[in-house]
Every structure is written in C-alpha cells, then in structure tokens.
Chain A
C-alpha cells in the first residue's frame, strides 16, 4: 500500500519520491513563516479580525498547492464554497510542492499585508536555506513560480470578500445608552472594524449563524446581576493572585496597548489572539512531528476557523454594543480603577478571545486529538514564561477566563462567548469531516 502510494506520488507532477509521513524538515517548518507574518502584522498594528483574515488567505494558497499534489488532501473548494477553482500550471522540470506551499504563505502575505514588502527579506532567507539544504536552483525557481501564481489567484479571490468595501461603510457612532460601549482610556480609540460582519465568512453560512445567548441586562443598581458581574471583575483586580496575573498577561494578545507618560505616547505591541493560536498550531505540528502537508492542513483549518469566529463575534459585538468593565467601574464603583490589561477598542460582548480560542481548540482537538499535551512558548518574546496545557480545550478555557482576570470582560461575555465558539468550532469540524478532511493524526 505504501509502495503504491509512493509510486503514485512519483507520477504526480512536481513530487519528489519520499515517505508520505516524513516529518517536516526544519527548513520547511511553518512556524517561523507564520511568525514572520505575525511580526509584520504587529509592526503594522493589524487589528485582530483583520489579522485572522490575513492568516486564512495566506494559508489558503499553500493548502491548495498541497491539495493539488497530495490526493489525500481534500480540495479547498469542497468546504469553502466561495473559493474559485484554479489549477496550477505545468512547470518545466520537477519541484517540491512543499517548498511551493511554504513560499506561497510568504508570497500571499507579501501581496496582502500593508508592510508585506518587508517579507521579501524572509523570502530571500527561506530560499537561501533551501539552497543550503541542497535543493536545486531550478526546482526552487519552479516552486516559486507555482507559489506566485497561486498567491496571485488567492489575492484576487480575497478581493471579493467585501473587505475593501468596509471603508465605504458608515463608521461606528457610539450609542448613547448608559449601558453602551464608549471608547476607553487612555487613547479613546474608535471602534475597531464595526462593519466586520459584512466580510464574507469562509465556512459558516453567515455572520449571525451562531448568535450567542443575550447578555445580562445593564443596570446601575448595586443589587442587580449586572452590578454583580462588574463587582466580580473589580474584586479580582483588588486582590489578584499571582497565577491569575500570569494567566491574564499570557493571553493579553493586545496588538496595540498605548502607554502614555505626559505628552509621550507609545504603543506596546503583542501578537493578536489569532496570531497566538496560529503559533500554538505550529507548536502542535512540531510536537506531533507532522509532515509539511499535514502542517499546512492544520494551519489552514485554524486560519479559517479564526476568520469565521471573528466574523461571528464581531457581529454580536456591534449588536449588543455593551459597555466595558472599565467604563462601568469608573462610573459606578471606583473612578481611579484601571484594568490590569488595557481595554481593547471595541464593545465588550462577547469576549473575542473566548469565542476564537474555544473554536480553534475544537478544530485542533479534531485534528490532533483530545488530551494533546503541549507547552506554549509563543509569548516568550513578550517576556511571558511558557505555559503547559493538557489539552487545547484546557488552554482555550484559560484564555477565556483570562479576560476576567485582566479586567476587560464580564463573566457572561466569557462563558457565552466560549459556548458560541464551541458551537462554531464543532460546526466547522462537521463540515471538514463531511468534506473528507480526516481528523486525529
């Protein structure tokens, strides 16, 4: 059977003879590639929903290259209905499609992300490493050509998802109700992506397919349920235990926390929540010693899930338009209170991190299995110590509750957000299963 597969692979265009389950050689690992996308997005201060979109499209081309070369991989069009088919042209000579796939991630990022041109450096570095590892120049050139063709196709497709129409839509005007979100200190930034729900999702049917349960009603009354929720956020911050502080910091994922000192303002940056889960995926791929092909599959699936989860969550955020704990606590409990984390610039309900982390964990669990133990060292560059998790779901649960510890979300936004994320994640899993994307590697 194995032999047959190898034989089969050999006759496919552009495929080197090798073991199908060969773990990715270090020079073809996706993690550093995803990392360089993340660094560029951090530089550009790409907001979390927009970042998820870039991850999804950057992986889409790589995935299609793999799918068109590896018959065990289902075509993208099977589960992403908006994807227009595109067949990779014949290349003179042979090439390693895995090289093309990895290169395609960078190429798509180069074309799409504002400062994408800076990725040329990464591309050059990547090609240099290939040469160092004995990949023939001709084969490299062919792979680059394939990647460029695919990336161009992906970019064209991406232009049909309404993203570029966002700037033509009416911007957000904060509602006047007492319980409504208003920009928060210190920068009072305008709401991020108020019209994100109009962006076309990848797998889910519509932005409102997974509507969360309604939030607890706003009230100033100190005996109310809502006051109790705010009080909980406040109390946690008043006597924080170190572990909670660690958890809040670890999952902060704020792409732009503005720190001021007098007239001086500087934005300190972290990778977005989506970026964090893309890197977790890379860690899992490495730990599971996955092949390049499967790594690409895993990264794509998480990318698509992130994109859809953000669309769903942003739909709700600008439906409920709920006040942030910081505003509420300053008004009704303690005017000098500041949350541990800086409040992100968009409405509170539901917690985006809860939605997207839980959804991502569902998909990762499908692919890697439950009880997949790993150590997450993705945040080391922000001086945050690695944390070990017994499963993706455990990590997601921690990410969700971290928003309470950080003082930026109420508990119902976390719990209901996680529930939505679970439903959405499971929907995607079913869709993948139905399209022949196998799980549990």
Chain B
C-alpha cells in the first residue's frame, strides 16, 4: 500500500511538473480530444500520384476562420489535399464540432480533386460568410473546378460556383475577395500556378502568351456574377508564373486596394498598384530593390507602427549551418545574370521584409530584423500575440522531402546505373523516397518594438516538429488574445491556445465592422488605434499568409496603455469614424453611419532634399567584369569603383568644377561649372581612361603651389589587371594655369602596388606644400594580402617621392583623413579598411607612428568602407564617423563572435586560398560551400567526398594541422556603422541607430541639414556586387540622421528627407552652384543623381 501511494504520488508530481513546465509557454498546444478537431491533411504517395507527377504535392492545405453563424464565435474550415475537408463549428471554450456532413454533402471536397486554398467571404453580400475552395493537381478540368459554398444561414451550404461564374478550372492556389473598383461589392482575385517549368530563359516570347490555367485572374463582381477582367486590368497571365502567395492591401494608402502576388521560381513577385480606373500597374521593380526568389506565403502589415503597410515574403533559406551546406544555395553567376537580363530583377533565396518608406520605396531589412532564415516556409502572419502593442510574427515551415539536398542531386543518380547493372527496373518512387525527410518546428518571433524581432519559439511553445502549411490566428475563445490554428501535413491540425491574458494584464480591443451595401464585413477598411505609445494600424483584409484566410475582426493589444486615446476607422468609401472613448477588453462592433467626413490626408511638408534635374548630364555604365572569376571566395568585388567624382576650381573662376571618371564607353571628363549653375563637359586632353585599369579614386589639390587645382587620379581593378604593372600607375595632371590639366609622367614615383581606394592631401612635414597619402584597397589577384599604400612627399614643385611609413602595408585600406588629432600643430593620419580597425597614425615630426590603441579602448576591426570627421557634440574636437558593413546581411559578427578570415596558398598553386568564417548559432563555420571549396583547392575533392561529410566542418577540419600552422588570419569584430566621440583624449564608440545599419555605409557627409545648429549626418552607400550568397546590399536610400548636438542621432524618414537614392553609391560630394548647394551622388551603372540641399 505504501509503495502504491508513493508511486501514485510520484506519478502525480510528474504530471504537475509537466503541467508547470507547459504552463510557462505563452502558447499551449491543445489536445484534439479537448478541441474536437481531429482534422489531418494526409497525403498518400503512389507510383502514379506523387511529387514527380504533380510538383506541388507537398505544399499542404489551408485554414479559413470566420463566424459562419454570426454567434460571435469564429468557426474553422480546413482543406485537405487528398482527404476530406472539415468544417468545425465553434461551441465556445475552445470546443468544436465537425459539421461538415450536415452543412453540405459536397463540403468535404471532390474525392478525386486536389484541394488547395480556402477563403471565407461574404461573396453574395447577405452578411453570411460563404466558403470558396480552390482546386489544383494533375487531374482533369472537371476535377479542378473551384467550388463556392453559399451560406444558407442555417448552418447549411449550397455549392453554387457556376451560377456566380466562379467555377474556375485553373491550377488554383488561393482566392481573395475584395472590392478593387470601390463599387461596394466584393470582386475576386484568383491566384494560380503553372505546372510546367520552362527551363530556358528566352522569356520575352512567353510573356506575350496567355495561359488560362496558369495565369492569375481578376474577376469583377457585376451584380452577383463574376466576370473575368484580367486582360483589361493588366494582370499578368502568361504561362511562367507559379503563384503561391496572395495579399491584398492599400500599399500606398490612396483608398484603393492593391494586390501583392508571390511567385515561386524565376518569375519575380508582382506588386499590382491600383490605378483607380479599373486597371493596375505592376510596380515591384520600382518598389523593391530585391525580392525572395522562391517566394511562398506573404503577409502585409504595419509591423513598426508607422501607419504604413510593410511586406514580408517567405523563402527557403535555413537558419542553421548544416542545412545551408546540405541544401542548394545560389552560386551561379551566369544564371543570375541571365535572370536579371531577362527582366527578372534581383531575387535571392531568403525571406524578405520590405519596410515601407512611405515614398514608394521599400528597404528590405529581414536580415537586420532577424527574420530572414526560417527554412522552407509557408505562412507568415503578423499579429500582436502578447498584446504589447507590437505585431509579432508567426511562420510555418517544412517540406516533406529535402528536395534540394546536394548529395541527392550529385550522387543519387548512381542508383539508376546500379539498378541497370543489376538488371532491375528503376522505380521513380524509390528515388523520391530516397530524399531525406526533415521535420522542422515553425518560428515565432516577438516584436522588440525597434524594427527587430527575437525568436521565442521555445519560450512561447511553438516547437512542435512537423510539416506545417496553412495557418490562421483568431481569438477562438474570445478571451482577448489570439490563438493559432495550423494545418499540418500528415499530422493532426494544431490548435495553440494563447495564454497571454492569463499571464498579463495588457488590455486589448477587437473591432468588428458593419459596413454597407454588399460589403457588410467592411473588407478594405482601415483601423487606427492611437495610444500614448503611438499609433497602430491594421487593414480589414483577411487574405494573408498562405492558402488561408483570417477573420475580419481586427485585434489590438494596448501594451502599457490603459486604453486607447482614440480609434479611427477609415471605411472603404474613405469616410472616417472616430471614437474617443472606445472601451477596452472587449469586441467592439462599429456600424457604418453615412454622412461622415472623408479621410483627409494632411498635405505633406515639402521634403528637405529636392531632386534637381539638368545640373549635370552623366550616366555611368558598368564594366560587367566579375572579380569572382579570379577569386571566387572574396566577399565583394573590387573592380567596381566608378563613377569617381572630384571637385575643384580648375579655371579659377570662383566656381567649383567636377572631374568624373569614365566607363567602358567614355573617357574621364572634366565638367566646368557655368554661370547658371549647370555643368558642361569639356572636350579636352586626356584625363585618363578605363581601358585596362579603372579609375578608383581622384583628388583635386594644388600640387605645385601655383594656386591652380591639379588632379591626381588613382588606378585600380581586380580581374584583368596585374600588380606592379604599368596600368596600375596613378596619374598626375598639372594645371597649366589656363585651366588645362596636363598629364605629367615625371612627377610621381612608381605606385603600382595595389588598387587605390583613397587619396588625401595635407602638409605632414610642415614645409608649406601638400603631401599625399594614397590608400590601396587590394592587390589584384591577391586578396586578402595587404597592398602597398603610399605616403608621397612633395618637393614643393609637385614632384613626389614615396616615403616609407608604418602605413605602407597596413591592410586593405578604404578611406583616410588627415587631421591634427593631438593638436600639436602636425597633421596626423586617420584611416580605416577591411578587416582593420579605424587607426590613428600620429605625426611624430619625422614620420608617423601607430597610436591606435592609445585613442581607442577597444580596437573594433570592421569591414569599414569610409570615414568622416566632424564635431558632433560641439566640444570643439573632431569626432569620427565610420561606415561599416552594417547589420543587414548574413554576415553577423561581434567582439564576442568575431568573423575570421584564414588565408594562405595552401595547395601551393600560386593562388591565395581565403576562407572566411563567421558564427552561426554559436559556432564559427566557413562561408565557403563544398562546391566552391572544390573549385578553390582540388585537394579538397578528396578531403570531403560528400556534402554531408562537409556540412558540419569547421575551419580546423578543412585545413590540415600543417596548413593551419601556415595560415594567416584576419578578423572582424564590429559590423555596425558608428561614431567615435572624442572624450578626454580618447575616442568613445557610439553606435548609430538601426536605419544606419540597414546597408553598407561608404560615404558620410556631416552638415547641419535642418539648420538647428547641430551637426546631422548623411549616410550613403549600399554594395551591389557581392558574392551571390550575400546578395545585393541595398536598403539605404540616403539615410539622414538628425543630430541632437550631444552625439546622439535619430533617423529622418525618407518621405521627410526626400532622399530616394537608389543603387550602389560610389562617390558623393556637395557643390555650390548658382547660390544653391547640391548633393551630387555617383552611382554605379546609373545616371548621376543630384539633389538640392535644404
């Protein structure tokens, strides 16, 4: 008896321990016994019906949530691809009843059909939610007909697709019902997908074709009958698109609904902007700098509470190193280039979070925000799960087979040969089944309220392993927090109860709209909630995520606020309804009353910077060289330095003139400023060309002290140029006193040690003339060896001698400045570079000495791209502003987890083998893929014979001990752009705000732009020519930081600053012309951009 009690007690304590543990997570996975939801999306692979016969075989099913009987409880509908769909009536208290059979005999779906997306919408405008089910699969047209189940009001549904004109036979993914023409009824967008991937990239011809089955459709509701208006409306219908995700939003907030469509494979996503006349303009390329390549689900919501909808698309990039190495990643420059040339834009395989800048542009910041890698993902949903006033993010993921496994690609083909040798038939299913299966857990991120997210899947209890596809959130038990419902492949659907209300007192409010006409649920309405913490914004657009549809009730958490100050509803007819005393912790039903004022958009304040046209006509054309063909393991290309700009008054007319470097079709040119403030090119003598070496730096300065500006032009390049060869020799052009710049051969020593990055002038030896420091970035063909930089001493007549200095081989220098930092009357040198700290070389009177550690308490090695000096805190001392790689790339490193570059000619074949490593999930792994490694060092082909062998290898496994012993090492410990404030003789680091970290910062122009007497910062940069696995870094459109005079800065929104600088900024300066101040920006492969400064 005693033993029994003990046993019982221990069992009990076990239970309670479990209970306690489970209690700790925000979400609780409810057992199906309790909920009554037994639904499973079971798929059965056969030799006839499998992923080879229909490629979207593992894409899963959807969930729709909505109150079908208007009892105040949200009901659920699940689609199953092969098995029966299920409709569950919400009985309250998280209990549900399967009413599928009673509701309609056909609601379970056609037995031989392949069901995909589902939508609940009031299609006929009677106030009752109807159910629209999409079909796809490799069956017949008849088997693929979509179905509309019209709600009869008594929990019965009648299939009526045909009579509404909605019996569409396309390969359908999902449908959305919304009012695109603002006529008061719901129209429909049908998202479809192609079934035949066209492998060649001669796409122009296909774009003229219409594919009724693959192309998307826009269906206009004309008195209850839906009519295909796709062609007229400008919807793409060609056979190339594989539509997987659909979201409706008013992206530009003009009162008209816009459409976002994601496309799998090569075709880029579409952003259809409503032209307000029944037509749409596809505008993705203007909005987005790059997009997800294999885009899947999409959500559009305002995640940063600035009132603007942001776009988040999902892709397939895994978070962990192992799966990144095992699965295929983009490494093919030729196919990428071909795609770009075929108008497919820049697409990369990762999730993209497009932050709406409010000026028609978006900054893609998924990597900085921490939400770029969620593996093979389906549903993204933004919603405030913890009621703190910020929308969190839920992501489902998982694919039944590791399709893109590289061992499978490369080695599984052996199977066919072996079978043939054994004279056995090849079963395709054997191949399919040989693909590894990896179960994943979804992701849930807490919004940190500062543009970033924290992965809290463990803390919030979203760690069930499986394959999750469609999903919705809804407050199923009306307790004031959003629960989650997930459709899983080959597993029971998951219902996660949110316990936020049980755990915190954060108030909430939910708003249910009653609109008019045939849109009683108010689809397309906007809801704003204003509190002390700011504004929150949501649209009533239930189609989001993947194959699924959320409720039309919108939910807000209020965080630390007791109540909302006010709530504003903008109805679909653009009239507004404001409530100043909306209650909390309840569902508010707001009814439309006519006669309200229209939403008035306050006239935008004039932007600070204004685009100026006609000032200087120049367009840079890229060389199309690919430095990775010479060294495939570098991170960036080095031969893309143009256009280079320099300014100086060449003819001494008091007006600043400009030198602009050439490109493949033009030589370097001088542009003289005219009296009217415009710049005219001078057809003059040779100023350098780009035949062999490129122009990589330039400076006007008075070399010979005659009062006229002379010109120094630095040379560079990487792919086709040899170090210590004549083309790398810089050129000095002396002014003949009449404004002519004349090349002189005798005045410069040999300076061919590297590709130049910067030239600065200063009288370091205090002899009254200007000496030079010429920084070098890289030795062509020898990355990452330190190139020779040059200290050039002037003899007073403009003849220079290279003087030995500690800067000679200091590293891969990117920028330098002369300044008298210790105020001893002698200028010191400040410089920065790649895998280097910002360094201070003090002028000792007979040379320079490295005093970096004396000025900085911590030495921050970064991938510094540029630096600037200005007094930021008004203490009379120069502070440093240094531009870095930024935080918005896969390359994350810090002092705690430094990036390391090991290099050496390990195979003694005359080329350096550089292996870059950085931390992923706490371990430092090499960036190099096995394919790249095998290309770099043939010996590696024997060291790792499979991708699996290589997947977990760290640098110590890649290099043998004797190779490691000979390896040299560079490191980087800081990737953020910062300023260093001069305090008590030291430079103290202050990190710039997050928008400054969205991209590479290479040009920094400090000035008091808002005329408040405090120094502001203009940060320019981006970097487009990177390893494909890094991709284009381009989220900076001209980042203006307003200074507080103490060294602190706040970001100025793009629609306020007026800056819309698109592309890879290679040079920037300000010039005075005709009484105005212009910002002149040189961008690779684009026209010069000129802004009038405030």
Contact = CB atoms under 8 A, between A and B. Distances in A.
Interface stretch (B436-444, B489-497, B533-541, B935-943): B935-943
B629 A261 contact: no
21 contacts: A42-B417, A45-B410, A116-B942, A164-B938, A165-B909, A167-B907, A167-B936, A168-B911, A170-B720, A185-B199, A186-B199, A187-B332, A188-B334, A258-B409, A260-B199, A263-B55, A264-B55, A264-B401, A264-B435, A335-B205, A382-B420
Contact of B409 (A115, A172, A265, A380): A265
Nearest to A162: B909
Contact of A262 (B55, B328, B409, B410): B55
A262 B199 contact: no
Nearest to A345: B334
B945 interface: yes
A183 B51 CA distance: 28
A308 B479 CA distance: 79
B138 to A, nearest CB: 12
Nearest to B56: A262
B242 to A, nearest CB: 9
B40 to A, nearest CB: 24
B805 interface: no
A8 interface: no
Given A164-B907, A262-B403, A171 B938 contact: no
Contacts of B420: 380-383
Given A266-B412, A267-B410, A170 B909 contact: no
A86 interface: no
A1 B1011 CA distance: 110
Contacts of A43: 411, 414
Interface in A161-179: 163-168, 170-174, 176
B629 A170 contact: yes
Contacts of B403: 262-264
Interface string B939-952: 00110010000000
A346 to B, nearest CB: 12
Interface in B408-454: 408-414, 416-417, 420-421, 431, 435
A269 interface: yes
A266 B205 contact: no
B910 interface: yes
Contacts of A264: 51-52, 55, 401, 403-404, 435
Interface residues on A, range: 35 or more
Contacts of A187: 332
Lowest 6 A-B CB distances belong to which pairs? A262-B55, A168-B911, A188-B335, A114-B941, A185-B199, A186-B199
A337 to B, nearest CB: 9
A176 B909 CA distance: 30
Contact of B332 (A115, A171, A190, A261): A190
Interface in B615-635: 624-626, 628-630, 632
B324 to A, nearest CB: 16
Contacts of B201: 185, 188
Contacts of B945: 44, 114-115, 117
Interface in B870-919: 907, 909-911
A182 B338 contact: yes
Given A167-B938, A269-B414, 12 more contacts: A42-B414, A44-B941, A44-B945, A165-B910, A170-B629, A190-B334, A256-B413, A262-B197, A266-B413, A266-B431, A330-B202, A335-B200
Contact of A263 (B199, B404, B909, B941): B404
B726 interface: no
Interface centre among A164, A173, A176 (most CB of B within 10 A): A173
A182 B630 CA distance: 19
A109 to B, nearest CB: 12
B206 interface: yes
Given A185-B199, A381-B420, A167 B911 contact: yes
Interface centre among A182, A190, A264, A269 (most CB of B within 10 A): A264
Contacts of A189: 332
A336 interface: yes
A268 interface: yes
A326 B626 CA distance: 25
Interface in B1015-1058: none
Given A164-B907, A171-B632, A260 B197 contact: yes
B909 A164 contact: yes
A330 to B, nearest CB: 4
B421 A185 contact: no
Interface string A113-139: 011110000000000000000000000
A319 interface: no
B contact patch SS: loop
Contacts of A256: 413
A179 to B, nearest CB: 16
B178 interface: no
A331 interface: yes
Contacts of B55: 261-264
Given A190-B332, A190-B334, A168 B624 contact: no
Interface string A91-131: 00000000000000000000000111100000000000000
Interface in A329-361: 330-331, 335-336, 338
Interface residues of B, number: 55
A167 B413 CA distance: 27
Contact of B413 (A116, A268, A326): A268
Interface centre among A164, A187, A188 (most CB of B within 10 A): A188
Nearest to A118: B945
A382 B52 CA distance: 21
Contacts of A265: 328, 404, 409
B910 A381 contact: no
A176 B625 CA distance: 11
B783 interface: no
A45 B941 CA distance: 11
B206 A267 contact: no
A105 to B, nearest CB: 18
A156 to B, nearest CB: 14
A261 B414 contact: no
Interface centre among B56, B404, B719, B941 (most CB of A within 10 A): B941
A300 to B, nearest CB: 24
Contacts of B612: none
B340 interface: no
A389 to B, nearest CB: 22
A298 B850 CA distance: 68
A269 B417 contact: yes
B198 interface: yes
Contacts of A380: 420
A168 B781 CA distance: 9
A266 B431 CA distance: 9
Nearest to B201: A185
Interface centre among A167, A183, A267, A380 (most CB of B within 10 A): A167
Contacts of A171: 628-630, 632, 935
Interface string B53-75: 00110000000000000000000
Contacts of A190: 332-334
Contact of A331 (B202, B421, B910): B202
B294 interface: yes
Contacts of A166: 938
Contacts of B413: 256, 266-269
Contact of A183 (B334, B401, B720): B334
A224 to B, nearest CB: 20
A401 to B, nearest CB: 25
Interface string B125-151: 000000000000000000000000000
Nearest to B421: A381
Nearest to B931: A190
Nearest to A326: B200
Interface centre among B200, B206, B404 (most CB of A within 10 A): B200
Nearest to B334: A183
Given A114-B941, A263-B404, A336-B198, A170 B417 contact: no
Interface string A258-287: 101111111111000000000000000000
